[in-house]
Structure 1
Amino acid sequence: MIQASAVQHGMWVAVSSAAPTAYHMPLVVTFAHDPDVALLAKSCAAVVERHALLSSAIVDRDGVAYLTRACAPGLRVAGPDESVDEEIARPFDLAEGPLVRFALFGRTLMITAHHLVFDGHSKEVLLRELAAFYAGEIPAPLPRTAADELAADTARLAEGRTAAAEYWSGRWAEPLPVVVGDHVLTGRHHGAGQVHAFEPPVPDLPGLTRFETLLAAIHATISGYGNPRVTTGVDLSTREPGLVGTIGSYATELPVDSQPDPDSSFAQFAAELRAALRAMYPHRSVPLARAVRRLRPHAAVAPVSVSYRRGGAAPRFDGVPADVDWLAFAGSVRGDLQLQAVDDGTTVTARLRYSAAAAPVAARLAEDLCGVLTRVALAPETRLRDLFASSTSAPPVAVEARASAPASVHGGELVEPVLAIWRDVFGNQAIGPDDDLFDLGGDSLTATQIIARMRKTLGLDIDIDTFFDYPTVNGVLDAAGAR
């Protein structure tokens, strides 16, 4: 067994309270001709053998996630009564694995992977290699094994954690909800969702990438609804240069914060946002939860999440390009709004995934975003206040306050056994019942270790939110009524 990466561990903690398909990553490939089923099955097996992470499982060892070997997934030919939607929604057993599956529906290959071992870039890697094996080609050897890469991740985390903590100190603030008219959106919960497909007209502006232009337009649009501070969660790749051909979960979500000045031009605002992004990039290898100790677990780091990826070239099978849905929807949304976009160099294809809370405003936000992008393409020096004619003033929304601990009941037969667990996890015999977990240097990983040991040895099942509300031994026990 190998300890999971920091990104995988954070995701593993979140999965326990997530909607069933919140971390499913479906990929739908439709062939131009009937595929050779035996050859396709052999090709799937070759990709899995090449990327060992795909035939793995995630197990719990005292609150720490470890990777272990599972059976290799094979190609399954779906029956006539089965549907693609049912295949996407079929749950994964994380502890048994494997964490990817292949199902063939006539000419359509349905690949469903779990985000614990897969990211957006992995889709292209998998299809490129699947097409190569199908054509009888053998890709060049991978530079490192999965075990090597996990070891390197541990080293990167140790090396960069102090600098990341210093960077976020003073910068991190709990994202405010997004207010659109009478609707208040947050990143707090997972749930069933729907999707709105559109093509934002992202222009090529001097000094900006198309991603930077799109992100600045999203911030400008949200500020136009009367939100004085805007925070979006942005998916960033953590891949090292030598890992572009490796399948895995090399992505993290980090917050991008802005306070748009209505009198600034869009070009000026976008340049400032670009500078903020560039300053954050050196710290992307450290998950936010490892750099900000009191980071409360959320479905998404902000009410609006943005994932943008360049690429999307269609693989060729039997000499003909296959039709690929790179943004297939699994039916769940993390937070209230998730914008997924793929840029093929000409067109940006987007899917806005939205929760029931965001359903009344999702199409409006997409339309307004397209309007902002159209205007800045013609006149990037336009002031922000003039970009969004339908802007409304909305009352400020207060950040959700941290709950005060209930009156502590000192004593009780569980205090000493729980203290013993804390002391063992921290390696500190001086911990007292009113010492704060985060002041002691703990984080979400520490909390999950303590939760697992309390459940195993004392039969106490306490959720991680309780630790963030009441991060002391007395506080946790009083909140849980275990005294």
Structure 2
Amino acid sequence: MSVPLVDESHRASLAQHGMWVTERAGAGGAVYRMPLAVRFDGPLDADAMLDACAAVVRRHPVLASVLAERDGQVWAAPGEAPPPILFEDLSGDAPGAQEPPAGAGSAADPAGEPGSPEWLAARVAAAPLDLGTGPVSRFTLFRLGPLSHLLLVVAHHAVFDGMSKDVLLRDLAAAYNGEEPPPLPLPYGEAARAEQERVDAGLDAAAEFWRSRWHDDREVALPGATGSSLRAAPGEAVELDLGDEVAQAAGPLGVTRFEFLMAALHVLLHAYGNERVTVAADLSTRTEQTRDHVGLFVNELPVVSVPDGTFAEFARSLREELRALYRHREVPLARALGGIGPRSALTPVSVSYRTRPGADPVFTGLDVSVDWAMFNGAVRNTLHLQVVDAPSGLSAVLLFNPAVLGRAGCEAVAEHLRALLRGVAARPDAPIAELPLPARAAGPERAARQGGEPGAAGEGAPAAAREVAGPAAAAGPGGSGAAGTEDALVEQVAAIWCEALEVDEVRPDDDLFDLGGHSLTITRIIALVRDRMGVELSFEVFIDDPTVSGVADEIARSR
């Protein structure tokens, strides 16, 4: 199936750039696969649905793009081939059945019954996505029976976010129904350039805002936790029934449902023994001109508090803090402050809260059901709360890393949060201390209070090594061979760092991220080293040992 691709390159957005570096550093993977499953009951026209998928890719060519580094910048460019748009007949109905392509699955798939959650999870895991070579998205239409079909879309997070699900499905329905959506107001590349200009203009104000607020707390106290994690890892899920309390209590308090739920989570984490609570929130950066785009328009920022007073007072104060934070919502924290290396999450606990704008799109002649919060089998930190706020109500799930937080602990968090929401709904003006909260925990059991999951670097390690530790993390600045690295080479590397960081002096043991480095700095240093020394640096060195000595040692080994 021929699909026209994007016809020009443009600089990747800041969010795409950061995600590309994280992937290259080995800290992404399955956590960046975003699946969407759509079930159709009725007389579906398979050819028309496949054509509709192709029409969506033509309308949103970011789904057919790749990311590549050039001259110290990351660029989005056309992929060499269109995203796979496949059909598989798993119905076993011989009369009139459409032939599946070579290598297609069958009803005897060992992962489970076709269409089951286990089967879908296996299909998502078996859908490779590659930012550098493509594809970054895949569409597969499965025929499960004469009147039963399932469309599975899997896209890389670098080209797809939560709101993209609504946009994609709306445009898919329009194409299937033979309708023509209005043209997009501007190409994706222009949107990325405009966002970059706004971020550049807002860097100083964002840095001033965050300087007194950000504390890189890597530990969190949770029931039964043995540590905390900022690494992408295989995850598990616990469904969370939020009931009607959030919707009923938020309005009278003068806060949104998101603000109400965020306040409740902060209060609960404080009750567990976290004196200063920090929860990262996924915030949309969409504008009027990008609201109808498929793509990545999200920035993760920390929300910091010390809960006190009545719940109503605290919820309103958190609302004011969020309103102040929103003024800097487009500026990545690492760009504003530095000191934050590539990692899959800012904090051990995070929240994504997405409000769906309206009813599900209509596909003519079909009954449709959509899994809007389909789990990809991975989690980016210790605990992540995912909420979808739809006209039909709130749906929520807690994703957790079983290596550091057991299922019983996650289920305890779910029950404690439910009890707290019920208590607040009954007495919103009650002092926080009088609400139904668990007894204060002493904190997670940590071997020597090292922080992070077993095998992670401890609090005394360099910043980036603590974020995503690697085999060389314990070797210290410079690694095992640093002592033998020539002084001239160290001086060359230091000069490159000075140029990339725009500073006058860098010492051999200075940490790149403590100097204000970020993902753009890494890309620039790698390009300069390649051009001047003929060495292609590994991204892992900026995780394992992000010092001048460490990079010089890597160059010496690579020669």
Q: Same fold (TM over 0.5)?
A: yes
Q: Give, as a single letter, the amino acid of the residue that structure 2 aligns with 1:203.
A: A
For 1:123 and 1:168, the matched residues in 2 are separated by 31
Say if 2:541 is the partner of 1:458: no
Q: Deviations over 1:140-170 (max 9, x none)?
A: 1100011211211221121111111111111
3-state DSSP class of the match of 1:458?
Answer: coil
Say if 2:376 is the partner of 1:330: yes
Aligned length: 478
Provide the residue aligned with 2:439 in structure 1.
Answer: 391
Q: Deviations over 1:16-74 (max 9, x none)?
A: 32353110110000002242111011111111111111110111235532111012225
3-state DSSP class of the match of 2:411?
Answer: helix
Which residue, 277, 286, 290 being the options, matches 1:230?
Answer: 277
Q: Give, as a single letter, the amino acid of the residue that structure 2 aligns with 1:51.
A: H
Provide the residue aligned with 1:97 in structure 2.
Answer: 134
Q: Give, as a single letter, the amino acid of the residue that structure 2 aligns with 1:189.
A: R
Q: Runs of 5+ in structure 2 lacking a partner?
A: 1-8, 89-103, 110-118, 144-148, 452-457, 463-475
8 Å Cα contact 1:187-1:298 kept in structure 2? no
Give how far 1:296 is off.
Answer: 3.3
Give how far 1:413 is off.
Answer: 5.0
**Cα gap change, 1:266/1:432 in structure 2, threshold over 3 Å: closer, same or farther?**
closer
**Cα gap change, 1:427/1:177 in structure 2, threshold over 3 Å: closer, same or farther?**
closer
Alignment of 1:151-170 (within 5 A): 151-170=193-212
3-state DSSP class of the match of 1:243?
Answer: coil
Which residue, 176, 180, 186 being the options, matches 1:138?
Answer: 180
For 2:156 and 2:536, the matched residues in 1 are separated by 30
8 Å Cα contact 1:126-1:247 kept in structure 2? yes
| Segment of structure 1 superposing worse, 425-434 or 268-277 | 425-434
**Cα gap change, 1:319/1:382 in structure 2, threshold over 3 Å: closer, same or farther?**
farther
8 Å Cα contact 1:336-1:354 kept in structure 2? yes
For 1:258 and 1:133, the matched residues in 2 are separated by 46
For 2:217 and 2:323, the matched residues in 1 are separated by 20
Which residue, 298, 301, 306 being the options, matches 1:259?
Answer: 306
Q: Give, as a single letter, the amino acid of the residue that structure 1 aligns with 2:86.
A: R
Say if 2:36 is the partner of 1:60: no
Provide the residue aligned with 1:279 in structure 2.
Answer: 324
For 2:406 and 2:520, the matched residues in 1 are separated by 34
Give how far 1:444 is off.
Answer: 3.2
3-state DSSP class of the match of 2:140?
Answer: strand
Q: Give, as a single letter, the amino acid of the residue that structure 2 aligns with 1:386.
A: E
8 Å Cα contact 2:87-2:141 kept in structure 1? yes
For 2:155 and 2:86, the matched residues in 1 are separated by 14
Provide the residue aligned with 1:124 in structure 2.
Answer: 166
Alignment of 1:82-481 (within 5 A): 83-89=119-125, 90-106=127-143, 107-201=149-243, 202-204=246-248, 205=250, 206=252, 207-261=254-308, 264-311=309-356, 313-356=359-402, 357-360=404-407, 361-394=409-442, 401-403=459-461, 406=477, 411-412=486-487, 414-423=489-498, 425-426=500-501, 433=508, 437=512, 442-451=517-526, 453-454=528-529, 457-458=534-535, 460-461=537-538, 462-466=540-544, 468=546, 470=547, 473-474=548-549, 476-477=551-552
For 1:355 and 1:436, the matched residues in 2 are separated by 29
Q: Give, as a single letter, the amino acid of the residue that structure 1 aligns with 2:535.
A: L
Q: Runs of 5+ in structure 1 lacking a partner?
A: none
Q: Give, as a single letter, the amino acid of the residue that structure 1 aligns with 2:399.
A: R
**TM-score normalised by the chain length of structure 2:** 0.79
Root-mean-square deviation over aligned CA pairs? 2.7
Provide the residue aligned with 1:42 in structure 2.
Answer: 51
For 1:240 and 1:149, the matched residues in 2 are separated by 9
**Cα gap change, 1:178/1:213 in structure 2, threshold over 3 Å: closer, same or farther?**
same
**TM-score normalised by the chain length of structure 1:** 0.91
3-state DSSP class of the match of 1:77?
Answer: strand
**Cα gap change, 1:432/1:279 in structure 2, threshold over 3 Å: closer, same or farther?**
same
For 2:269 and 2:239, the matched residues in 1 are separated by 19
3-state DSSP class of the match of 1:340?
Answer: strand
For 2:205 and 2:301, the matched residues in 1 are separated by 15
Q: Give, as a single letter, the amino acid of the residue that structure 2 aligns with 1:377.
A: A
Provide the residue aligned with 2:469 in structure 1.
Answer: none
| Segment of structure 1 superposing worse, 196-205 or 389-398 | 389-398
8 Å Cα contact 1:177-1:303 kept in structure 2? yes
Give how far 1:118 is off.
Answer: 0.6
**Cα gap change, 1:241/1:183 in structure 2, threshold over 3 Å: closer, same or farther?**
same
3-state DSSP class of the match of 2:296?
Answer: coil
Say if 2:22 is the partner of 1:14: yes
Give how far 1:301 is off.
Answer: 0.9
For 1:278 and 1:212, the matched residues in 2 are separated by 10
For 1:63 and 1:359, the matched residues in 2 are separated by 42
Q: Quote the sequence identity (%).
A: 40
For 1:286 and 1:467, the matched residues in 2 are separated by 26
**Cα gap change, 1:393/1:86 in structure 2, threshold over 3 Å: closer, same or farther?**
closer
For 2:55 and 2:519, the matched residues in 1 are separated by 37
Give how far 1:184 is off.
Answer: 4.3
**Cα gap change, 1:427/1:256 in structure 2, threshold over 3 Å: closer, same or farther?**
closer
